[in-house]
Amino acid sequence: MQEPPDMGGTDPALLAQLRILAEQAADIALTKHERPLPEPVVDIPAPMKWAAGIISAVMTAGVVGIFIWLVTTVNDMQQTLVRIDERQKAQVESQDARFADADRRIGRLEGFHNLGGGDQ
């Protein structure tokens, strides 16, 4: 009759197999813990993504609007300064003409008085 297999753990072949399995399990456990655990992925909900996109678009439109307003304002200021410069130039020319006319008239009046034209 054949003896039943040794279930008590004294069989050397069974012990060798158990040892190999335990070493493999230990190697797997160590390699899992040696690698850093991956960071948990934070999933942003779709409505939040949409809200962020809309807010970003509104802010971009605002910045573009401010830039257009700034360019338009600077252009208007430049045109205003050109008009002011033209008016001042015309005013200076007009004043120069009046001063020249006043100098001419004063000169004629002084000449008239120097010739004795005003004595009575």
Per residue in 84-103, pLDDT (tens digit) is 999 999 999 999 999 999 99
Region of 37 (left: φ > 0; alpha: ψ -120 to 50; beta: rest) is beta
Asked whether the beta carbons of 112 and 118 are under 8 A apart, the reply is yes
Report whether 14 contacts 6 (CB < 8 A): yes
More reliable by pLDDT, 99 or 32: 99
pTM of the model: 0.45
User: Chain-wide mean pLDDT for the chain?
Assistant: 86
Predicted local distance difference test score (pLDDT) of residue 4 = 55
